[in-house]
């Protein structure tokens, strides 16, 4: 996700380095298409993973429920602070998915 979000920043006016990076990414994906991420859940809890660069992935059991890739809207003075901001985003995603699982709406 990080590579895709970085490449998306150059979509409007792509230059040679961005094209080269995109081709490299596509070659990598083609070469690794048989690899799988295997989730071995013990229950159907909602699991959310985040990182300081703005990526969030959520899954339930073996099913991916949501993913986002956004630049953070604030500037943090440390990577620890950026991780807290990302964790807050993860909590929001968790709350939204939990509300949806109980047939409520999430705004």
The residues spanned by each domain of the chain are 1-35, 38-107
The 10s digit of each residue's pLDDT in 12-33 is 888 999 999 999 999 999 999 8
pTM over cut 0.95: no
Confidence of residue 103 (pLDDT cuts 50, 70, 90): low
Report pLDDT for 67.
80
Q: Count CB neighbours of 26 within 10 A.
A: 10
Tens of pLDDT, residue by residue over 54-98, are 788 888 877 778 888 777 788 889 988 988 888 888 888 888 888
**Reduced to 3 states, what is the DSSP secondary structure of residue 51?**
coil
- The pLDDT-based confidence of 41 (bands split at 50, 70, 90) is low
Q: Residue 42: what pLDDT? A: 64
d(CA 79, CA 37): 27
Q: Return the higher-pLDDT residue of 3 and 78.
A: 78
How is residue 62 annotated by DSSP? T
DSSP 8-state secondary structure symbol assigned to residue 107: -
């Amino acid at each position: 996700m990080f590579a895709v979000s970085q490449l998306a920043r150059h979509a409007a006016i792509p230059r040679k380095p961005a094209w080269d990076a995109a081709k490299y990414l596509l070659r990598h994906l083609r070469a690794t298409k048989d690899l799988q991420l295997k989730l071995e859940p013990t229950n159907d809890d909602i699991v959310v993973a985040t990182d300081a660069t703005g990526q969030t992935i959520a899954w339930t059991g073996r099913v991916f429920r949501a993913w986002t890739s956004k630049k953070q809207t604030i500037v943090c003075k440390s990577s620890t602070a950026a991780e807290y901001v990302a964790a807050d985003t993860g909590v929001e995603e968790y709350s939204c998915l939990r509300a949806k699982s109980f047939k409520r709406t999430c705004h």
